[in-house]
Amino acid sequence: MRIAILALGTRGDVELFVSLGRELQARGHQVVLGSSGFFESPVLAAGLEWQKVGSGSFDQLRTTLAALSESDDGETRTRRYVSDWLQPQLRQGANALRSMTARADYFISNLKLVMARDGVVIPGAAVTYDPPASPDDLARSGTRNHGDRVIDLVAMDRRLIDPDETWDERYRFTGFWSSNPGPTRPRDARLQSWLERGDAPVVVTLGSMTSFDSDRLVACVREAIRLQGVRCVLVRGWSSITTSDQEDATTLMIGEASYEQLFPAARCVVHHGGYGTLVSVLTAGVPSILLPQIRAQQEFGKRLLAEKLATGMFDISQLDPRSLAAALQRADTDVEIQAQVRRWQARIATQAGLATAAEAVEAHGGAIAGR
């Protein structure tokens, strides 16, 4: 099949669908992935065809994300992100979308978008990888309005997201997908050397999120690790932290890091609760502390707390050193949480989410074509 994939969003969104594209391509399918222009290089490096969708720049996306700090709650921030970034990019990219689906046999979207050609809906899959506040929220996407031409894939573990099995049978849980878009990155020699010179550190990483006071966060983290007497690796990611890379006995501040290298060496990971980071933390088998900034991250946080995989969830604007230090201490001392993260590490290791998703796409596309 010729498969078109739309993946608009931040780096974590795109990396997830690059992973799916690689899996489908390895199975003999021709894959084109459309996203914002600044993601062209990683898509091409993964060996996929590329289509630019929308005209927004990386700086414009960062500005949009930073402006979310003006809103006080995750729901409002989510709505603003959709209205200020995603919807304009879709409008600007309408012709590009038509171009990339002109010859497509199958269409996959991270935004639950459905495409038609000559008045007929192109067979496809809508992918859910952020937990909604309620399954009723999913029904509003409209994918059910197209009969069996569009299927709903859920790229998450049902036991974590829907333990009471309240989602109906239309939603096909695949298990978590690996967010690694290609071969494992080379190990960072400087990071490895620092890790080997002391005890396991706390890792703080905020990924693509920028809607917080970075100076205040750094000061809070530094005081919390001082209170606990532990070391820390702070991964800046897309944040506006301006401090240059620093290295001393207690703190290493770096721009980017391979989670596959860093997280297994951590005692705890403080993160925003985005999909890719969360899967990497579960894979590493270490506790989480959540600093969510949009609603989906809050929902992930609630589920991690309920499953005893996290020791705290805080509003990043209200975070104080003593509360963070207390959560760090619990990550070190709570034997139930330590046992639970190891159980989930073993569970994640048995999942083949990408393969399950690719098989569902192949079966669905083949069934539609065979009519």
Domain boundaries, the chain: 2-54+93-176+352-369, 189-349
* Pairing relationship of beta strands 246-247 and 251-254 according to DSSP bridges: antiparallel
Q: Which of 295, 302, 307, 368 is nearest to 339 (CA)?
A: 307
Query: Between the CA of residue 1 and those of 318, 352, 362, what are the distances in Å?
Result: 50, 22, 8
Which distant-in-sequence residues (6+ apart) come within 8 Å of 179 by Cβ? Answer: 12, 15, 16, 19, 275, 276, 279, 280
Pick the CATH number of 2-54+93-176+352-369 from 3.40.50.11140, 1.10.486.10, 3.40.50.2000, 3.30.70.20: 3.40.50.2000
Most confident of 23-32, 180-189, 290-299: 23-32
The reply to whether 2-54+93-176+352-369 and 189-349 are identical in fold is yes
| 109 or 74, greater pLDDT | 109
Query: Between the CA of residue 180 and those of 121, 252, 351, 359, what are the distances in Å?
Result: 31, 24, 15, 19
Lowest-pLDDT choice from 7-11, 225-229, 253-257, 297-301: 253-257
The alpha carbon of residue 256 and the mean position of all alpha carbons in its chain are separated, in whole angstroms, by 16
DSSP 96-113: HHHHHTTT-SEEEESS--
C-alpha–C-alpha distance, residues 146 and 119, integer Å: 12
Q: Over the stretch 313-363, which tens digit does the pLDDT of each residue have?
A: 998 888 999 999 999 999 999 999 999 999 999 999 998 999 999 999 999
C-alpha–C-alpha distance, residues 60 and 65, integer Å: 9
Q: Within a 13 Å sphere around the CA of 152, how many CA atoms are in the beta-carbon half?
A: 19
Lowest-pLDDT choice from 169-178, 239-248, 295-304, 311-320: 239-248
Contact 138, 307 (CB under 8 A): no
Predicted local distance difference test score (pLDDT) of residue 280: 94
Q: How confident is the model at residue 244 (pLDDT cuts 50, 70, 90)?
A: low
Q: 189-349 is classed in which CATH architecture?
A: 3-Layer(aba) Sandwich (3.40)
Query: Between the CA of residue 213 and those of 90, 194, 353, 363, 371, what are the distances in Å?
Result: 30, 27, 36, 47, 56
By three-state DSSP, how is residue 39 classified? Answer: helix
Q: Which residues pair with 71 in a beta bridge?
A: none
Predicted local distance difference test score (pLDDT) of residue 243: 56
What residue has token string 């590493």?
Answer: 284
What residue has token string 């074509």?
Answer: 369
Q: Which residues pair with 124 in a beta bridge?
A: 107, 150
pTM for the predicted model, two decimal places: 0.90
